[in-house]
Structure formats: structure tokens, C-alpha cells
Amino acid sequence: MALQRRLRLVAPPDGAPDGADLRLAFASSDLERVDRHFGDTPALVIHRLDPDGPRRVVVAQFTPMPSHGETETDRLSPRIRALEGCAAVYCEAAGVSAVQQLLAVGVQPVKVPPGSPIRELLLELQACLRAGRPPAWMRRAALRRKESPQGFEALADLPWDGE
């Protein structure tokens, strides 16, 4: 699957620069619920979570490619590139290769139950942050960022299968 289109909010309503604060992605077919496997999702919905609440800032949609001759890299690469600047991606599941590549670029995969409403996940996370109780994945991700600040450059060092 290749990236078909990427819709981005140019100027957030509050005047804050796009990309400020915490950015989170969600694997979704309807842009409202987490209902897809990371490597198979037709869209990644990216929200910015700031003190005022969540705001949708990007929707990256993918178009199917013919399945014969398609490699895992063909499927994963556009999705991983679309996550630049995100701290995490929420999905129903993610394969081992996808998890390794996501962690290498500093994006934490978060598995949630099928059909989880995106807005509810965002509001739950915001409540945890306001209470000073970030989830375990966020604490682990912060530690990894301190240990490995190169982010997306690390992806180039990963072995690529199927080429």
C-alpha cells in the first residue's frame, strides 16, 4: 500500500504551531475508532494532545497496491514515514517487524481492544497526564528517547527484508 493522500491542519485553531505537544496516531478505517492492524490500516489519524484537549491534525490515507510482489517493506514504509513526530500509534495489533521498526524511530506501538473510540482513548490519556500518572508505555518511550535520540535516522540502519 502506498500513501494515497495526507491531509494536514495547516494552522491549529488556537494558533499553536502544528506539531506542538504530544502527537498520537490511530490505525482506523472510519477515522473514529481503532479498528485495524498497523500493517493493514487504510488510514492513520494523528491527533495533537495539548492542555486544551485533543485536536486532529493529520489524516494519512493509504491506497492498496496489488498484493502479488508486494513486500512487507512496501506496506510498512509509508505508514512509518507518516508517523514522523508521533510518540505512539494505537492499533489492534502489530507484527514483530513493524514493532521493531516503530521502536527504532521512537514510536511506541500501543495495542488496544478492537473498536476502541479514538476520542475516549485521547481523553483517558489526557486525564492520566493531568493527574501526573503517565501510562507505562509513555515512561518507557521517554527512557528510550534519552538513550537513543537519533529517531528516524535509526530506520536506515535496520535490515530490510524482501529487497
Residue 158 inside a domain? The answer is no
Segment 44-60 mean pLDDT: 91
Which residues partner with 5 through β-bridges? 61
Structural domain containing residue 120: 2-152
User: How many structural domains is the chain composed of?
Assistant: 1
Cell triple for residue 1?
500500500
- Residue 144 forms part of a structural domain: yes
pLDDT at 65: 60
pLDDT value of residue 138: 82
Q: Which residue has the cell 485536536?
A: 55
CB 27 within 8 A of CB 44: yes
CATH code of residue 120: 3.30.420.130
Pick the closest to residue 43 from 23, 26, 57 (CA basis). 26
Q: Is residue 157 part of a domain?
A: no
The whole-number pLDDT of residue 162 equals 41
User: pLDDT tens for residues 65-101?
Assistant: 656 666 666 789 999 999 999 999 999 999 999 999 9
pTM: 0.76
Cell of 29: 478505517
